[in-house]
Amino acid sequence: MASSNPSLKPVPPYHRREIRDEILQLKHVIESQQFTVPLLMELFQRSRGMERVVARGGTLEYQNKILASLFYQASTRTRFCFEAAMYRLGGKVLSTEQASIFSSEISGEHLEDSIRILANYADVIVVRHLHAGGAERAADVSAVPIINAGDGDGGQHPTQALLDLYTIYRERPLGGLSVAIIGELDRGRTARSLAYLLAKFERVKIFFVAPPELQMKPDILAYLEEHGVRYELESEIDRVIREVDVVYLTRIRPERVTNERGAKRYAVDSELLRKMKSDALILHPLPRTVELDRTVDDDPRALYFRQAANGLYVRMALLTMLLDKN
Amino acid sequence: MASSNPSLKPVPPYHRREIRDEILQLKHVIESQQFTVPLLMELFQRSRGMERVVARGGTLEYQNKILASLFYQASTRTRFCFEAAMYRLGGKVLSTEQASIFSSEISGEHLEDSIRILANYADVIVVRHLHAGGAERAADVSAVPIINAGDGDGGQHPTQALLDLYTIYRERPLGGLSVAIIGELDRGRTARSLAYLLAKFERVKIFFVAPPELQMKPDILAYLEEHGVRYELESEIDRVIREVDVVYLTRIRPERVTNERGAKRYAVDSELLRKMKSDALILHPLPRTVELDRTVDDDPRALYFRQAANGLYVRMALLTMLLDKN
Amino acid sequence: MASSNPSLKPVPPYHRREIRDEILQLKHVIESQQFTVPLLMELFQRSRGMERVVARGGTLEYQNKILASLFYQASTRTRFCFEAAMYRLGGKVLSTEQASIFSSEISGEHLEDSIRILANYADVIVVRHLHAGGAERAADVSAVPIINAGDGDGGQHPTQALLDLYTIYRERPLGGLSVAIIGELDRGRTARSLAYLLAKFERVKIFFVAPPELQMKPDILAYLEEHGVRYELESEIDRVIREVDVVYLTRIRPERVTNERGAKRYAVDSELLRKMKSDALILHPLPRTVELDRTVDDDPRALYFRQAANGLYVRMALLTMLLDKN
C-alpha cells in the first residue's frame, strides 16, 4: 500500500503482524493524531473494500454486534452515517437523538456512570459530547470502544477528518499537498482534526485562512511546528486560492465575522472558482451557511457530497477494526 | 382485480407489463393524485398479500434495505407505522423523532443538502416536513425514493389517504360512494389527499362539512370540477349524515371554531350514530380531539382502529413497489 | 429451583405445568407484586440462561418480533437496556426518546388511542409514563403485552425491582434478609416496587431510612403489615448500617432535604463503608446525585454496576416469557 502512495513520509517497512498489533492497540478513537500512517493506509484499504461491500448490499458478518449512538447534541447526518455503517455490516443500533434532554445528564456529571452502564448493552459507543474532553472521559471508564463523534467547539471530530483525508486520498497522493483550511477555525473541530492528520504526510503545506480573531488556536500551530509541517496564517482567500490543491471549507456563522464584507469574504462562489487550479479539490464537512455557494455544487471539483458518501465506507472500516478483536 | 370492482371508472384494459411500467415510473410518493386506478389496484392487491405476510411473522426479503425516517415534526404513530412496515419486510431503520431540534435544520435552508447526504445512507427516505412542498423539494435532489409523510397544514399526506381508501375498499366497491369529509378542512392534509384519490372513481359524491371559515380550499374544489366529481359544501352534519356511505372525520382544534356550539357541532356521538346508515363506515386518521366521542368506539361501523392497522399493510406494499426496481 | 433457595417462604409443591400456567397468565408487567415466588424463580433461572446466551453473542430466535419503546420521559439507560435485550434476542426495536414532545400526547388524553394503534405495529410495548397508573391504562386497551418502565413518582418500576432482586439472589438466599432502603422514599418508585417483592420472602426485615417528610408512603406500609413483613422507619443511617445485609440506595434530590446536614446525611461514603458488614451488598438503581460517593465504586461490596448489567439478562428473560405465547 505504501508503494501506491510513494509520497508518504518514509515509514519503517512494516508487515501485516505489525499492523495487526496497531489495530489491536486501537481501543478507542478519540483524536485523529492517534492514527499512524500505516494504520491510515490499512483503514483506507478497508474503506475501499467497504465500497464493494455496500455495492452488493452489505454483509451480515456483524449481526451479533450492537452500536450505541450517544449524542448529547443532535446531528442527524453524522448519526445516520454511523448507524447506516453498522447496519451495512449487519449489526444493530441503539440511538439517542439528543440525550441531553434527559436532564440528569445535562450537567455532564454522570457521563462516566452512563458509559459504564451502557457498555453492558452495546459493543461500541459513538459519543457526541457538548464539551471538549467528553469522549476521553468516556473512554477512561468504558469496557467497549468509544468513538468520538465531536466533543465541543474546541475538541475534535476524528472520523470526519479520516473521511476527509480518504476523500483526498482517493483523488491523489497525500504527500506534497497544499491545503487551504478556511472558516471559523478557532472553534473548528473538523479543521483541528484534519490538521493533525495532514501533519503525518511529507511536504504538506497548510494555509489557515480566517479573520484574525477566528484563527486556528496555538495548540495546533505548536503541534505543526514540532512536527516540521509548513503552515501560514492568512486572512485573505485571494492570496492562496491560486496555488492550493485542496480547498477545505468549514462553516462560518455570519454573526461572528465583524469586518465590512463579513463572512462572505471567506466564501467560495463562481468568481473564486475561476481562480482555483483546474484540478483543485473542494471539500466541506457540511452543513454550510454562507461560505459555500450553491452554484459551486455542479463544478466537477466540488467533492463534498462524495465526501459524505465516503463517510459510510470509512466508518464501516473503522468499526471492523474496533470490533474485530478476537 | 378491476373485475372485482366493477364500479371503477372504465380504464383501458391493462396488462402486467403496463403495471410494471407504472411501478417503474413511481420514483417518489409526494401527492396522492400520482396514483392511477390500476396502480391503486396493484397497491391494494399487494396490501392484501402483506396481511398474510404479517400474519406469518414477516419476511426477510428486504434485509439489505434501510429506511430513514426524517421527521421534522414528531408523529409517533405515523413514524412507527412506516418503521414497523420496514421491519416486517426484514429491513433496517434509521430514525429521527424530531429532526428540527437540530437547529441548523429549523430554517429549512438545508433540507436539500441533508437529503443529498442521507440518500447515501438509506434506500428510501420518509419525510415529514413543516411546510407544504417540503417533500417535493426533497424528491428533487434525492437519489433514493422519497415518501411524503405529511408536509405542512396545506400540503398532503398521501400514504394516509392510500390507507384510508384501502380501508374503504376492503369493505365495499369504490364506485358510486357518497362520502362526508368533516372537520378543519382548510388545514386538513389528510382530507386533501383523500379528495384527490376519491376523484379517480366513478360516480363518487363528496360532502365537505366544515364551518365556512374552515372549508376546503379552492385548489381541491377546482380539481374536482375539472374531473367531473360531484361535491357539496356543507356547514351542518345533520343535512348529510343520513345519506352518506362513509363518514370521514378529521381533527378539529376547538379554538378554531367560533360559533356557539363550537367544534362539538362537527362531532360524531351516539346521537349522530342513530342517524347514520346501518352500514356506514366511520373513519378518522387519528389523533382525535372532541370530534369523535369514545362511545363511538364500540360501534361496528367504527373502522378507525382497523384503518390504523391497514396502514401497516399499505405501507409495506408501497415500500416493495419503491424498492423493487431492478 | 426452590431447593437452591431453602429460605423461600414455603410454597405448595409446583410443577412445570403450573409455572407454564402462571407464565400464560402473565399478560402485562405493571406492578412487581404480580410476581409469585415460583414465577420469580422461573424468571431468575431464565435470566441465568440469558447470561450464557449473551456471552455467545445472542440468539436470532425472536427475529420476527418487534419491541416498541414508548417513553414519555427520556431515560437513556432504561430504554437502551430494554432495546439491547430485544436485540440480543434477535428482535427489532421501534423507539421514542421522549414521546411527550409530541404535543397532542402531553395531556395524556390519547394514551389509550396511541396504544391501540401501536399494538398493531409491535409485539410488546415498553411504556414510561409521566403519571402513576399510566402503564395500567395502557394495559387495559392493549392487544399486546405492556411493560411498565416507570409510571410517575408515586407509581412503580417493576422491572427495576426484578433486576435488583436478581442481583441480590445471585449473591445469597433471599429468605431472612435484612435490607435498608434509603433515600427519597415518598417518590421512590424503585423503592416501592422492591418493597413489594421483598415481602414475598420469609423473615425479611426492611428498614426504610429517610427524613420523616420523605418517608415511604402508607400504602406500602399497610401492604407489608398485611403480609406480616417486619419493617422499621428510620431517619438515621447510622442506627441500621451495622446490621443490614443489603444497603439499597436511591436518589435524593438535595433541594428536597431541609435539615442542617441535608441530603449528605443519607449518603454512603468511605466512613459509612467502614461500619457496614464485610459482606454487605450495596445497590443503587442509578443515576446518583450526592447520596453515593464515587469512592464507594471500588469497594467489592458495591454491586450497582453489576446490577445494571443484570438488567439486560432479566429483561431478556422477561421478554421471552411475554413473547412465548404463540
The whole-angstrom separation of Cα B252 and Cα B238 is 17
A312 contacts chain B (CB < 8 A): yes
User: Which chain B positions have a beta carbon within 8 Å of A77's beta carbon?
Assistant: 114, 117-118
> Cβ–Cβ contacts within 10 Å for residue B318, how many?
26
A44 shares a domain with A139: yes
For residue A166, being part of any structural domain is answered with no
User: Any idea what the Cα angle at residue C40 is, between residues C34 and C46, rounded to 5°?
Assistant: 130
**The one-letter amino acid at B193:** S
Q: B188 with B64: CB under 8 angstroms?
A: no
From A30, A105, A37, select the one nearest A70 (Cα to Cα). A105
List chains touching B (3+ CB pairs under 8 A).
Answer: A, C
* Helix (H/G/I), strand (E/B), else coil: A239: helix
Beta bridge partners of A132: none
What CATH number did the domain enclosing C33 receive? Answer: 3.40.50.1370
* Percentage, residues of chain B above pLDDT 70: 91
Q: C294 with C267: CB under 8 angstroms?
A: no
pLDDT at position C304 over 60: yes
Measure Cα distances from C273 to C101, C245, C265, C269 in Å: 42, 13, 14, 6
Q: In this structure, what C-alpha cell is assigned to residue C175?
A: 429468605
Q: How many domains does chain C divide into?
A: 2
For residue B164, being part of any structural domain is answered with no
pLDDT at residue C15 in the model: 63
From C320, C312, C318, C323, select the one nearest C51 (Cα to Cα). C312
The whole-angstrom separation of Cα A111 and Cα A91 is 25
C177 shares a domain with C239: yes
In this prediction, the residues of chain A whose per-residue pLDDT falls under 50 are 1-11, 103-108
The whole-angstrom separation of Cα B46 and Cα C264 is 64
Instruction: Establish whether the linkage from the previous residue to A12 is cis, with ω within 30° of 0.
Output: no
For residue B245, being part of any structural domain is answered with yes
The whole-angstrom separation of Cα C230 and Cα C213 is 21
For residue B246, being part of any structural domain is answered with yes
B151 shares a domain with B86: yes
Instruction: Establish whether the linkage from the previous residue to B287 is cis, with ω within 30° of 0.
Output: yes
C183-210 confidence digits (pLDDT tens): 999 999 999 999 999 999 999 999 999 9
For residue A4, being part of any structural domain is answered with no
For residue B275, being part of any structural domain is answered with yes
**Min distance B189 CA to chain A CA atoms (Å):** 26
For residue A5, being part of any structural domain is answered with no
For residue A7, being part of any structural domain is answered with no
Contact A80 B105 (CB under 8 A): no
The per-residue pLDDT string of chain B (326 residues; one tens digit each, 9 = 90 and over) reads: 333 444 444 445 556 788 889 999 999 999 999 999 999 999 999 999 999 999 999 999 999 999 999 999 999 999 999 999 999 999 999 999 988 765 444 444 589 999 999 999 999 999 999 999 999 999 999 999 999 999 988 899 999 999 999 999 999 999 999 999 999 999 999 999 999 999 999 999 999 999 999 999 999 999 999 999 999 999 999 999 999 999 999 988 888 877 656 778 889 999 999 999 999 999 999 998 889 999 999 999 999 999 999 999 999 999 999 999 75
C136-170 confidence digits (pLDDT tens): 999 999 999 999 999 988 899 999 999 999 999 99
Q: B207 with B237: CB under 8 angstroms?
A: no
Q: Which helix (H) or strand (E) holds A238?
A: none
- Give residue C80's domain range: 13-156+310-323
C101 contacts chain B (CB < 8 A): yes
pLDDT at residue C109 in the model: 57
A183 shares a domain with A71: no
Local confidence band at C8 (pLDDT 50, 70, 90 cut-offs): very low
pLDDT at residue B1 in the model: 34
* Ramachandran quadrant class, C166 (left: phi over 0; alpha: psi -120 to 50; beta: rest): alpha
A93 shares a domain with A220: no
- The residues, any chain, with a CB within 8 Å of residue C270's CB and separated by 6 or more, are C293, C295, C296
pLDDT at residue A261 in the model: 67
**Rounded to the nearest 5°, which phi and psi values hold at C211?**
-60, 145
Q: In this structure, what C-alpha cell is assigned to residue C269?
A: 461514603
Contact B96 A98 (CB under 8 A): no
C76 contacts chain B (CB < 8 A): no
User: Which chain A positions have a beta carbon within 8 Å of B137's beta carbon?
Assistant: none
CB contacts under 8 A, B 277-306 vs C, are: 286-288, 305
B187 shares a domain with B98: no
C194 shares a domain with C127: no
First to last CA, chain B: 25
B52 shares a domain with B179: no
Residue the block writes with cell 364506485: B175
Measure Cα distances from A136 to A112, A159, A216, B20 in Å: 10, 15, 22, 54
C129 shares a domain with C22: yes
The whole-angstrom separation of Cα B89 and Cα B317 is 9
From B149, B221, B160, select the one nearest B185 (Cα to Cα). B221
DSSP summary character for residue A217: P
C221 contacts chain B (CB < 8 A): no
C13-48 confidence digits (pLDDT tens): 556 778 889 999 999 999 999 999 999 999 999 999
Q: Which helix (H) or strand (E) holds A206?
A: strand A205-209
pLDDT at residue C173 in the model: 95
